[in-house]
Amino acid sequence: QVTLKESGPALVKPKETLTLTCTFSGFSLSASGMWLNWIRQSPGKAPEWLAGIDWEDDKYYRASLRSRLTISWDTSRNQVSLTMADVDPVDTATYFCARRVLLSPVDVFDFWGPGTTVVVSS
Amino acid sequence: DLQMTQSPSSLSASVGDRVTFTCQATQDIRNYLNWYQQKPGRAPKLLIYEASTLQRGVPSRFSGSGSGTDFSLTISSLHPEDFATYYCQHYYILPLTFGGGTKVDI
């Protein structure tokens, strides 16, 4: 049974660094075609893909946020973390981690965590 | 970035109605398109992948079609639990992007 769960602070101040962690189970991120991704959704908006890490520990970022994001994988704890530097109120959103299965031609976000809401405010 | 445009942004319907909404890409994405359903306070749920393949466990009243730049999602007969927001998402190239969504309400 695949599960994912996000954790992190609910409130951060502008210009601080946000660190989110996704703890997953029920699959091996080392298996070919597996990715773990971070996706955020601002209130009333569409989901926005931020970053992903694949089964070979290669990392991918949304270009517009690349300078602020770092994704990393703790293999010993089945956790993937995302840090976002220099946060701004526009970063207020619900942050989801989602498994991506990339086995061409199939490429889907098939399992998601419940999300964690982050408010950026002083 | 490759943009996805959904229309309408919202629609009102009744239980039993047949509804169709569309998703348009700014360039040819072949059939590299997924559809998700999202209910308030919940994560998106995968409904359809490769534009027309139903995800396991999704009711057959959902169907998808299209290729290239124009896609659609049809619900043949709305059930009460189908009132939600639907998003398309391409996987042609990074960054993966979602459409703006179609909210289906009563």
Residue A82 burial (CB < 10 Å; 0-12/13-18/19+)? buried
Q: What is the pLDDT of residue A17?
A: 98
Burial annotation A52-73 (CB, 10 A radius, 16+ → b, else e): bbbbeeeebbbeebeebbebeb
Q: What average pLDDT does this structure show over A91-115? A: 96
Q: What is the pLDDT of residue B85?
A: 98
In angstroms, the CA B98 to CA A70 distance is 22
With CB atoms and an 8 Å threshold, state whether A109 touches B99. no
SS3 B22: strand
Is the Cβ–Cβ distance between B6 and B100 less than 8 Å? yes
Query: What is the phi/psi pair of residue A65, to 5°?
Result: -120, 5
Q: Mean pLDDT of all residues in chain A?
A: 97
Q: What is the pLDDT of residue A105?
A: 85
Q: What is the pLDDT of residue A83?
A: 98
> pLDDT tens for residues A12-49?
999 999 999 999 999 999 999 999 999 999 999 999 99
**Nearest chain B alpha carbon to A40:** B43
- Smallest Cα distance from A13 to chain B, Å: 24
Q: What does the block give as tokens for B83?
A: 């009132």
The answer, yes or no, to whether residue A65 has pLDDT greater than 90, is: yes
Query: Which of B44, B46, B49 lies nearest to residue A47, judging by beta carbons?
Result: B44
Selected for mutation to probe chain B from A108, A111, A117 (highest B CB count within 10 Å) is A108
Q: What is the pLDDT of residue A104?
A: 84
Residues whose CB is less than 8 angstroms from the CB of residue A14 and which lie 6 or more positions away in sequence, other chains included? A87, A88, A89, A120, A121, A122
Question: For the CA atoms of chain A, what is the radius of gyration?
Answer: 14
Split at pLDDT 50, 70, 90, the class of A113 is: very high
Q: Which residue has the tokens 């190239």?
A: B93
Q: What is the pLDDT of residue A118?
A: 98
Q: What is the pLDDT of residue B106?
A: 79
Question: For the CA atoms of chain B, what is the radius of gyration?
Answer: 13
Q: Which residues of B touch A109 (CB under 8 A)?
A: 34, 36, 44, 46, 89
Residues whose CB is less than 8 angstroms from the CB of residue A44 and which lie 6 or more positions away in sequence, other chains included? none
> pLDDT tens for residues A74-95?
988 899 999 999 999 999 999 9
Query: Which of B55, B94, B97 lies nearest to residue A60, judging by beta carbons?
Result: B94
Q: Which residues of A touch B32 (CB under 8 A)?
A: 105, 107
**Nearest chain A alpha carbon to B86:** A46
**How would you write the pLDDT of chain B (106 residues) with one tens digit per residue?**
899 999 999 999 999 999 999 999 999 999 999 999 999 999 999 999 999 999 999 999 999 999 999 999 999 999 999 999 999 999 999 999 999 999 999 7
**Nearest chain B alpha carbon to A61:** B95
- Smallest Cα distance from B50 to chain A, Å: 7
Q: What is the pLDDT of residue A96?
A: 98
With CB atoms and an 8 Å threshold, state whether B43 touches A114. yes
